[in-house]
Amino acid sequence: MKRIIASTVILMTMSLAGFSQPKYLSRAGHIWFYSKTPMETIEAHNNQVACFLDASKGTIAFEVLNKSFKFERALMEEHFNENYVESAKFPKATFKGQITNLKDINFTKDGIYNAIIEGDLSIHGVTKHITQKGTIEVAKGKIIAKAKFGVKPEDYNIIIPALVKEKIANPLDVSVDITFDPMK
């Protein structure tokens, strides 16, 4: 009888632990990049980022449609899609990775936690393994993940013509701000 009760308590604890670390989803994440040189400032925003987080395993993945980046000027947007990332040929950028310091993050307690994310970033048909720092904020059942890092176009075989090379910062600043809701 004691074994049955002990087994039941262990199973209930494991079940509750599984519920306390749910899976999260966002379909309206925000990723943007920024470039400032003495010649020009370029900024583009994308608010249609699909992102998944499994808090129990620390896995995280996102997918970005390149054509969803919006620029201040239509000509910049056209050059970005046609000449640089070649959106027709490479429609998406993706990231698949892992929170490597998962033990330092309590997804059941409100607070801001430092996070280290490691994984594969794919842009323009090229995949690079990266490690980046960011934060994960737990606030009233929602998870907010933020990071800022640099991306060098040449690392992803994005060719910047000599004529405009001085107008584009290298690396470009990339910022990520994703608000996740628990999956139901």
* Residues 12-59 pLDDT 10s: 333 334 444 699 999 999 999 999 999 999 999 999 999 999 999 999
Read off the pLDDT of each residue in 55-66 and give the average, rounded to a whole number. 97
Q: Is 155 domain-assigned?
A: yes
Q: Is 135 domain-assigned?
A: yes
Closest C-alpha among 4, 17, 12 to residue 107: 17
Q: Which residues contact 181 (CB under 8 A, 6 or more apart)?
A: 24, 25, 26, 142
Split into its structural domains, the chain has a count of 1
Q: Is 4 domain-assigned?
A: no
> How far is CA 62 from each of CA 3, 31, 41, 75, rounded to the nearest angstrom?
44, 10, 26, 27
Structure tokens at 121: 């970033």
* Residues 2-25 pLDDT 10s: 443 333 333 333 333 444 469 999
The CATH number covering residue 143 comes to 2.40.128.110
Its domain, for residue 174, covers 22-182
